[in-house]
């Protein structure tokens, strides 16, 4: 796929789309259209226990109703697990991945024992309990069927990449703040990848040149930037946009049925009304 600009909208089919999604989708489509580029839709369905076919169908229907068109075929992440596996293998070869056997409860207890842990955008930073386990102990636990996640050794990774930055068309030049994340999980036993890994791999494989998404994910871009560098991917531009909120200043939630596109449509709203409601009429 070669074009000046490729943008994407990447919803998870875990509920019906609401006004916040309409904003993100129309924002991405507009950036592509104004630049004569391509707009792609990606279904982020790696967490199969939470995703439903019914919600995926509703995504296509609601976006078509809004008047959006996207490139074919739609990439569904659940059909591409081997791509994420290959990326993990590359990171393993660089000795940047280690198995972590801690349960959530054990991590909490360890943090309490240590008198607390710094908090990052994704909660308390992992205290590194499994980081220095000897290899034979790791093998023993794995052979005994103890379940584990795979974590990225952040210190080693940043030794390879050095300081990194990324260009955001809204926020300007940004430096990664990776210490705020710690050794993030890149894959789990039940889900063989993670949001951070799959989104980085997909944006690269799909040739996305401009990632547009809510500003709540701006810090996470540092992780993606690090993975791009380790995996030798091209670096897209970014544009983090505001998060739409309701009259009480709270962001829309999938559980709030009153702002889903289908309930608004059932109440007689038109796509033009929706664009006016979210302030993206052009
Ligand atoms: N699937 C993510 C979401 O629904 C999209 C994240 C992204 O655009 O990188 O929030």
**Position 46 pLDDT exceeds 90:** yes
Judge if 193 and 101 occupy the same domain: yes
Residue 149's pLDDT band, with cuts at 50, 70 and 90, is: very high
Is the previous residue joined to 208 through a cis bond, with omega within 30 degrees of 0?
Answer: no
Residue 236 belongs to some domain of the structure: no
Q: How far is CA 72 from its chain centroid? A: 21
Which one has a higher pLDDT value, 257 or 67?
A: 67
Let me know whether 109 and 20 are in one domain. no
Return the minimum-mean-pLDDT range out of 16-20, 66-70, 105-109, 272-276: 105-109
Domain of 71: which CATH number?
3.40.50.620
| Shared domain check, 87 and 69 | no
How many A from CA of 24 to the centre of ligand 1?
Answer: 10
Q: Answer yes or no: is pLDDT of 2 > 70.
A: no
146 occurs within a structural domain: yes
Q: Which of 26-40, 241-255, 256-270 has the lowest mean pLDDT?
A: 241-255
Which ligand 1 atom is nearest residue 11's CA? 4
Q: Kindly state whether residues 162 and 108 are assigned to the same domain.
A: yes
Distance from the CA of 11 to the center of ligand 1, in angstroms? 6
118 vs 68: CA distance, rounded Å: 42
Say if strands 97-100 and 149-152 run parallel, antiparallel, or are unpaired.
antiparallel
Question: Nearest residue CA, atom 6 of ligand 1?
Answer: 10
Mean model confidence pLDDT for the chain: 94
Asked whether residue 229 is domain-assigned, the answer is no
Domain boundary among 144, 177, 202: 202
% the chain with pLDDT above 90: 83
Mark whether 41 and 127 lie in a shared domain: no
Kindly give the distance from the C-alpha atom of residue 135 to the centroid of ligand 1, in angstroms, as a whole number. 36
Residue 245, pLDDT score? 87
Residues 6+ apart with CB under 8 A from 60: 74
CA distance 259 to 257: 6
Question: How many Å lie between the centroid of ligand 1 and the Cα of residue 263?
Answer: 22
* Mutate which of 28, 50, 74, 199 for ligand 1 pocket (most atoms within 8 A of beta carbon): 199
Domain that holds residue 8: 1-79+245-282
Structure tokens at 186: 């890149």
- pLDDT over 60 (residue 1): no
Reported as a single tens digit per residue, the pLDDT across 213-261 is 999 999 999 999 999 999 999 999 999 999 988 888 888 887 787 789 9
Q: What is the pLDDT of residue 47?
A: 94
Q: Is residue 86 located within the same domain as residue 133?
A: yes
Cα 60 to averaged position of ligand 1 atoms, centre (Å): 16
The CA 229 to ligand 1 mean position distance, Å, reads 21
Residues with CB under 6 A from ligand 1: 10-12, 44, 199, 213, 217
Which atom of ligand 1 is least distant from the CA of 220? 9
- Residue nearest (by alpha carbon) to ligand 1 atom 3: 11
Read off the tokens for 230: 């380790």
Q: Average of pLDDT values for 2-7?
A: 81
User: Measuring from atom 10 of ligand 1, which residue has the nearest CA?
Assistant: 11
Average pLDDT in the 36-40 region? 97
One domain, residues 94 and 71: no
pLDDT in tens, 72-100: 999 999 999 999 999 999 999 999 999 99
pLDDT tens-place string over residues 166-210:
999 999 999 998 888 999 999 998 899 999 999 999 999 999 999
In a domain, 217, yes or no: no
Identify whether 253 is part of a domain.
Answer: yes
Place of tokens 């500003």: 215
Q: How far is the CA of 282 from the centre of ligand 1 (A)?
A: 24
| Atom in ligand 1 nearest the alpha carbon of residue 8 | 8
Ligand 1 atom 4 nearest Cα: 11
Lowest pLDDT segment from 39-43, 109-113, 138-142, 263-267: 109-113
Does 128 score more than 90 pLDDT? yes
Indicate whether 224 belongs to any domain: no
Q: Indicate if 38 and 91 belong to the same structural domain.
A: no
Above 60 in pLDDT, residue 270? yes
CA of 163 to the centre of ligand 1 (A): 25
Q: Which pLDDT belongs to residue 282?
A: 64
Considering the domain architecture, whether residues 49 and 158 belong to the same structural domain is answered as: no
CATH code of the domain containing 160? 3.90.800.10
- Candidate of 213, 219, 236, 252 to mutate for ligand 1, largest count of ligand atoms within 8 Å of Cβ: 213
In a domain, 18, yes or no: yes
Tally the domains of the chain: 2
Q: Does residue 64 have a pLDDT over 60?
A: yes
């Amino acid at each position: 796929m070669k074009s000046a600009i490729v943008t994407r909208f990447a919803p998870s089919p875990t509920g019906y789309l609401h006004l916040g999604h309409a904003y993100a989708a129309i924002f991405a489509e507009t950036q592509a259209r104004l630049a004569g580029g391509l707009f792609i839709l990606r279904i982020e369905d790696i967490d199969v226990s939470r995703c439903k076919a019914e919600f995926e169908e509703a995504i296509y229907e609601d976006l078509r109703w809004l008047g959006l068109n996207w490139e074919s075929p739609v990439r569904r992440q659940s059909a591409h697990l081997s791509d994420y596996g290959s990326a993990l293998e590359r990171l393993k070869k660089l000795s940047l991945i280690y198995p972590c056997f801690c349960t959530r409860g054990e991590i909490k207890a360890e943090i309490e024992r240590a008198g607390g842990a710094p908090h990052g955008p994704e909660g308390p930073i992992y205290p590194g309990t499994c980081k220095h386990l000897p290899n034979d102990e790791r093998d023993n636990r794995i052979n005994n069927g103890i379940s584990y996640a795979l974590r990225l050794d952040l210190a080693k990774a940043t030794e390879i990449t050095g300081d990194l930055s990324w260009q955001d068309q809204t926020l300007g030049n940004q430096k990664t703040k990776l210490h705020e994340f710690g050794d993030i999980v890149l894959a789990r036993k039940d889900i063989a990848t993670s949001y951070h890994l799959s989104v980085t791999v997909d944006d690269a494989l799909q040739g996305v040149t401009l990632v547009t998404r809510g500003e709540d994910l701006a810090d996470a871009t540092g992780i993606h930037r690090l993975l791009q560098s380790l995996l030798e991917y091209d670096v897209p531009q970014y544009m983090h946009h505001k998060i739409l909120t309701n009259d009480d200043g709270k962001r829309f939630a999938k559980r709030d049925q009153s702002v889903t596109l289908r309930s608004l449509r059932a109440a007689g709203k038109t796509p033009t009304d929706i664009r006016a409601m979210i302030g993206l009429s052009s």
